[in-house]
Structure 1
Amino acid sequence: MQFINSEWREGSDEGQIENLNPFDNNLINTFKAAGKDDVDAAYDCAKEASKTWSKTNPLIRRDLMLRAADIIMKRKDEIADWLIKEAGGTALKAQVEIKQSYDMLIEASGYPTRMHGFTIPSFTDGKETYVYRKALGVVSMISPWNFPLYLSMRTIAPAIAVGNAIVIKPASQSPVTGGTIIAKIFEEAGIPKGVINCVVGKSAVIGDYFTGHPASRLISFTGSTPVGKGIGRIGGEALKKLALELGGNNAFIILDDADVDRAVDSAIFGRFMHQGQICMSTNRILVHDSIYDEFRDKFVAKAKTLAYGDPAKQETIIGPLIDNKAVQHVLNLIEKSVGAGAKLETGGKAEGNVVQPTVLSEVTKDMAIFQEEVFGPAVGLVRFKTDEEAIELANGTEYGLSGALHTRNLQRGIEIAKQVETGMIHINDQSVNDEMNTPFGGEKNSGVGRFGNDFIVDELTTVQWVSVQMQPRKYPF
């Protein structure tokens, strides 16, 4: 169903979207797909609603966020079940995502009172200058399938909180957890008509039309770099603002003075959380030559203990990839890298859509698993001998989203971290970190813009200069 102007309705397109469970490929539900008429209706309602919503008392918007947060926690078991069966996440991952979404709503509840304006001294005698911060109006949000609830909520909640209306297009693989369940939460929380709208449709039919629609002022997208570049071209031609969080090929650097056991624990989580289907996942582990063998042996041993299979089972750590196309991508990277000289330490096979936890050693920078984003439970170990070589290897791809570095010398770590071309990097931790009050975003082909804190408020608003000539001005003619 589509959610447009607080009404649930069938889509107008002739096609259907089949929502499949990625673990067993069973049909969960079917959507009659949205067409261009539904997109127009959603944007028209949002544009009209934004005129009044932006002027509401900030406490009304604050309380809406708090009610939505309360609903999420009351319905967390139901939501977790959807995240497991629709997105293939484990029970642990579902708990993490629900808590993140809750925290995002709590953080966003403070945004209505952070719409700060200011005054500036004028160069003109007798004039006063005011700068007002205003909501953009209508925001477009294209949600991903990997963390659909949270990665949607981190745009939706701030956008609504600062006074925008929003139109959501969820990924076809996660139409419920990335779209309709969020619309339902806000409906139950009492959101006014038209402020939130959700269209579930096929990208081939409505994708470009949705992205380029003249009603929206900003496009928020989380997903692959190739798709993000296409969205950027369409948005750029329409002079829209862009908040794009794209692919990552994140380096995990382990210096010669690192605590090896601590680095192993961090790297296991950073690589294998949600089967590696996270843009921030550790993709390349760079290990100093002097401790390489010790790290490899301990890392491989721990990887072999990770339970994989049915995500509905509490003990499962690694569940299915989103579909067989994703499985074949990972297996192809493994095969090409082994063919180029990498050593397969463990894993390398798939059972249905579940890929075994896989570790390759003796990986070099020219191999596929080094250069490409894996987005699955496979990782390569790379040797280095100097800090300079580690920095060069870390910067040796087109991506720059996140990263990690392990050392006992914090100042040394900070100096190296500052030289890595990435939007985020974490010392003595792993690469999968997302806190709502920090600047989240990437460099190079990993995206543009920043989420979190006042950074996302800047993205979702604009400023207007209003001046008042208080005294008669003398003009030169």
Structure 2
Amino acid sequence: MAVIDEKWPDRAEWAGKIYSSGWREPEGGIRQVIEPPAGGAPVDIGVASPADVARAGARAAEAAGEWAAAGPSDRVEVLLRAYDALRERAGTFRGWIVRESAGVPAKGDYEISAALAQLRHAVGLASLPRGEVLEPQVPGGTSLAWRVPLGVVGVVNPWNAPLLFAMRALAPALALGNAVLLKPDPLTPVSGGVLLARLFEDAGLPDGLLHVLPGGAETGQAVAADPNVAMVVFTGSTEAGRAVARVAGEGLKRVVLELGGKNSLIVLDDADVEAAALAGAVSSFGYGGQACVAAGRHLVHADLAGAYTDALVGHARAMRLGDPAEEGVSLGPVVSERQVTRIERIVDESVAAGARVLTGGRRDGLFYPPTVLDHVDRAMPVFTEEIFGPVAPVTPFRSEAEAVEIANDTAYGLTAAVHSGSAPRAVAVAERLRTGMVHINDVSAKDAANAPFGGMGVSGNGSRIGGTASLEQFTQWRWMTAPGPA
């Protein structure tokens, strides 16, 4: 169950404030967050103004120099204490994730587990070799190259996985000697911001290294534009990512963009239909489809399409909607009125164009049921647009070449899954897909701390976070030479 410890963190300490060298009153005022129907009262959140961001950036730059000079063991000790504190406070993190994002408790548990994995992996990053001894250009000389921290990293976080996405940038950035300005999404300022500030405060992170700056687009733009910020990590929609990249580009900053997806789950004619349909249901309906890695297209060989859709409908109808804090509920409400209206519009326009609803398809307030559509062609909104809801559009194909061509018919390129009774055959299809990630006989929605996560096309800018890619992203090279003896 989702139970919040109201004594940690003490609401009187953080309500209406920002975290920047302690909890302080913001110049941007206070915003009341109205939560989805998942329990709990409205929350007063401090809003960071551009002036607040500027002060935080200056302090972070000062603190980053001292942090970079500290030994790796000092940084590791903080991360290990944060790991222990997160395990101890897991119930509160779970409760706030349910309360703010309307995910079921199991989704909160997944985020906590994944965040712990990010902390564990970051501990290893801190001790990786940082440099190379190069061949000198003059006899007896010295030529060295090594990686140094960037300084200050700005993180603009989404609402759909607030803890995981924040920690995916925060843990490696701190481990490698950087300071962080974290801007949580307005819908999830506690689970994606306040709790993390308190967690690292308890872990003994030195003052000035983490600033939590809630707010809307203006705050995010200020973080991206701040002259002390050397790198911006943004996770969200492609449209918003372009705006962040434009601002950051003016300062020639490094930018990591993890954006949307229109991901295909491909079922070849020799696939295990039941296993593929289960993976398809998890990929499209898990957490209401509100994930960039959700399956937005089910491409099924025509010979299996009937059996596949029957099985997919069965999984959809077995899922129970309701208050996510209740036992046995599979899906909670969609996160906002704006988002459920978008899902409704995409489905209704596609049905008007000829798609057929096999189950679901009608909202009830903020609740949208798992929905399966067939007769989906490539001109329909449900085929072309990222849905970000529990909708599974099914489109048949006749050959592997056609399946690949349909899957690649999008500007997105985040992830995909291929199902086949022959692993070599599935791999051969997977290698032809224009995606940053692909999974064989599995779901489309996967994440691992030791893997480079990211997409191609308008799903990202080719950058990656995770594994040794984090070492590349959160540091930069320095080269030093010295002449040999005279």
Bin for the TM-score computed over the shorter chain: over 0.9
Partners in 2 of 1:132 and 1:151 — Cα distance? 28
Structure 1 unaligned residues grouped into runs of 5+: 473-477
Residue aligning to 2:349? 336
1:4 aligns with 2:20: yes
Residue aligning to 1:247? 260
What SS does structure 2 have at the residue aligned with 1:48?
Answer: helix
Farther off after superposition, 319-328 or 207-216: 207-216
Q: What amino acid is the match of 1:379?
A: A
1:135 aligns with 2:149: yes
Residue aligning to 2:212? 198
1:21 aligns with 2:35: yes
Q: What amino acid is the match of 1:2?
A: I
Superposed CA offset, 1:16-70 (max 9, x none): 3222221269643112322122111111110000010001111111111111011
Deviating runs (4+, > 4 A) in structure 1? Answer: 24-27
Partners in 2 of 1:82 and 1:115 — Cα distance? 38
Question: What TM-score do the two structures reach when normalised by structure 1?
Answer: 0.96
Residue aligning to 1:273? 286
What SS does structure 2 have at the residue aligned with 1:122?
Answer: coil
1:463 aligns with 2:474: no
Percent identity (aligned): 35
Superposed CA offset, 1:193-219 (max 9, x none): 00111111232x333222111101100
1:438 aligns with 2:454: no
Report the Cα offset of residue 183 of structure 1.
Answer: 0.8
Query: How well do the aligned residues superpose, as a CA RMSD in angstroms?
Result: 1.2
Report if the CA contact (8 A) 2:38-2:324 is conserved: no
Residue aligning to 2:86? 72
TM alignment of 1:298-317, pairs within 5 A: 298-317=311-330
Question: What TM-score do the two structures reach when normalised by structure 2?
Answer: 0.95
Structure 2 unaligned residues grouped into runs of 5+: 1-16
Partners in 2 of 1:67 and 1:117 — Cα distance? 28
Distance 1:59 1:377, change over 3 A: same
Q: What amino acid is the match of 2:25?
A: E
Q: What amino acid is the match of 2:190?
A: V
1:425 aligns with 2:417: no
Q: 2:199 aligns with which of 181, 185, 198?
A: 185
Residue aligning to 1:475? none
Superposed CA offset, 1:80-137 (max 9, x none): 1100001111011011111111111111111111152111113333322100110000
Q: 1:231 aligns with which of 229, 244, 252?
A: 244
Partners in 1 of 2:171 and 2:451 — Cα distance? 16
Report if the CA contact (8 A) 1:90-1:314 is conserved: no
Partners in 1 of 2:377 and 2:256 — Cα distance? 33
Report the Cα offset of residue 412 of structure 1.
Answer: 1.3
Residue aligning to 2:190? 176
Report if the CA contact (8 A) 1:2-1:34 is conserved: yes
Superposed CA offset, 1:230-271 (max 9, x none): 111111221100111000110000000000011011111111
Residue aligning to 2:8? none
Report if the CA contact (8 A) 1:20-1:26 is conserved: no
Residue aligning to 1:209? 222
Residue aligning to 2:120? 106
Report if the CA contact (8 A) 2:38-2:325 is conserved: no
What SS does structure 2 have at the residue aligned with 1:235?
Answer: helix
Distance 1:54 1:110, change over 3 A: same
